[in-house]
Amino acid sequence: GRPSQNVPPEYYTRLNSSLELAHRPRANATFVILARNSDLDSTVRSVREVEDRFNTRHHYPFVLLNDEPFSDEFKRRLSAVASGPVSYGLVPKEHWVQPDWIDEDRATKGREQLVSENVIYGGSVSYRNMCRFNSGFFFKHPLVQNYRWYWRIEPDVHFHCDVNFDPFLYMQDRNKVYGFTITMYEFDKTIPTLWGHVKDFMKLHPEHIANDNALGFMSDDGGETYNRCHFWSNFEIADLEFWRGPAYQDFFKYLDAQGGFYYERWGDAPVHSIAAGLFASKDQLQFFEEIGYEHNPYTHCPKDPQMWERGKCGCDPARSFDYDGYSCMRQWDRFMGL
């Protein structure tokens, strides 16, 4: 077990009276979902589940973002399942498309290389746009701008347990920055030069490196090499101010200028994770054991029988990804001293 990060009983909501409901504190928080019009069915299913398992008791808002205008049908069906206000935003071109200064010949060669190595999305430009947007821009969107906290949702994900506490308030109370449910190794072929640039950045900006950071989770040799452990960013509950702050802003600008989002295929997951690991203290990172979550092909399911029962979890704890060979949970436990 990993008792030290478990959410304590006082965070569990009691729904005894309408008075309590009306006076329940709320965080300045929203769900954020990036989706295409073609993701309609799967996005509705994800929102339906997050509502049933959590939001029907809170009515937090949803921000839906797309690089194309959402269709009327998309808005109608999505708004029908949400219990909080929903807003639909267009991603500005300058936050989405491949910048002019990217050397297209080099980018094409990079894509061909990854296709030849059978790397997933290796040949896709739109996937690269998406990863760069999620790394550097989503928190600047006008519809997201006024929020402090967000919970990232994707089409086709599953929430397997009742979330009977408010993770936003928990993060806020505990001064947390980044919450995750699944951690694993990144494909080395997508980020061949990333860690070299990270090391250069650390030398350039030592002032951004947090005391008591989580470098030891990501590197087994004191920072020389990256062990490729990262948080799976299709689920994130995190502090938007962290991404907007000087450390991450300098970091993203530095990485973006290297062109690796296009010459290689840097994901927002390793970029966010490395930043959270370096610019926050390790106590500001939160593993949400309680939140049963699935994004194909992996599921996190609470192992602790009491937690599993209390959450009315529909997942099989024996199949939880946590101790799969490809999971980084062992590194996390060791690093956190659990």
Binding site for ligand GDP (CB under 6 A): 34-36, 39, 66-67, 126-127, 130, 154-155, 234
- Least separation in angstroms between residue 78's CB and ligand GDP is 13
Q: Which residues contact 115 (CB under 8 A, 6 or more apart)?
A: 122, 123
* Nearest CB to Mn ion, comparing residues 74 and 195: 74
Binder of residue 36, out of Mn ion, ligand GDP, none (CB less than 5 to 8 A by kind)? ligand GDP
- Least separation in angstroms between residue 152's CB and ligand GDP is 8
Tokens describing residue 88: 């639909």
Catalytic residues: 236
> What phi and psi, each to the nearest 5 degrees, are found at residue 106?
-70, -40
Binder of residue 283, out of Mn ion, ligand GDP, none (CB less than 5 to 8 A by kind)? none
* Nearest CB to ligand GDP, comparing residues 13 and 87: 87
The sign of the dihedral angle between the CA atoms of 202, 204, 208, 210 is positive
* Nearest CB to ligand GDP, comparing residues 67 and 220: 67
Q: Which stretch binds Mn ion (CB under 5 A): 57-65, 184-192, 231-239, 248-256?
A: 231-239
- Least separation in angstroms between residue 86's CB and Mn ion is 20
The rounded distance, in Å, linking the Cα atoms of 75 and 62 is 12
Contact string (CB under 5 A) for Mn ion, positions 144-183, x = contact: ----------x-----------------------------
* Nearest CB to ligand GDP, comparing residues 34 and 229: 34
Q: Which residues contact 297 (CB under 8 A, 6 or more apart)?
A: none
- Least separation in angstroms between residue 65's CB and ligand GDP is 7
Decide: is 304 part of the binding site for Mn ion (CB under 5 A). Answer: no
- Least separation in angstroms between residue 190's CB and ligand GDP is 11
What is the H or E stretch that residue 143 is in? none
* Nearest CB to Mn ion, comparing residues 120 and 204: 120
Q: What type of residue is 235?
A: F
* Nearest CB to Mn ion, comparing residues 36 and 330: 36
Binder of residue 187, out of ligand GDP, Mn ion, none (CB less than 5 to 8 A by kind)? none
Binder of residue 39, out of ligand GDP, Mn ion, none (CB less than 5 to 8 A by kind)? ligand GDP
Binder of residue 67, out of ligand GDP, Mn ion, none (CB less than 5 to 8 A by kind)? ligand GDP
Binder of residue 66, out of ligand GDP, Mn ion, none (CB less than 5 to 8 A by kind)? ligand GDP
* Nearest CB to Mn ion, comparing residues 272 and 282: 272
The rounded distance, in Å, linking the Cα atoms of 61 and 229 is 31
Which residue do the tokens 């991450």 mark?
A: 248
Q: What type of residue is 197?
A: H
Radius of gyration of the chain (CA): 20
Decide: is 333 part of the binding site for Mn ion (CB under 5 A). Answer: no
Count the residues of the shown chain that bind Mn ion, applying the rule CB under 5 A: 2
The rounded distance, in Å, linking the Cα atoms of 161 and 295 is 14
In whole angstroms, how far apart are CA 173 and each of 21, 170, 272, 306? 19, 5, 22, 24
Q: What share of the chain is helix, strand, coil (3-state, %, to 5)?
A: 45, 15, 40
Decide: is 324 part of the binding site for Mn ion (CB under 5 A). Answer: no
The rounded distance, in Å, linking the Cα atoms of 27 and 166 is 9
Nearest in space to 275 (alpha carbons), one of 322, 218, 325, 326: 218
Binder of residue 35, out of ligand GDP, Mn ion, none (CB less than 5 to 8 A by kind)? ligand GDP
Decide: is 67 part of the binding site for Mn ion (CB under 5 A). Answer: no
The answer to whether 266 and 255 have CB atoms below 8 angstroms apart is yes
Q: Which residues contact 105 (CB under 8 A, 6 or more apart)?
A: none
Give contact residues for Mn ion (rule: CB under 5 A): 154, 234
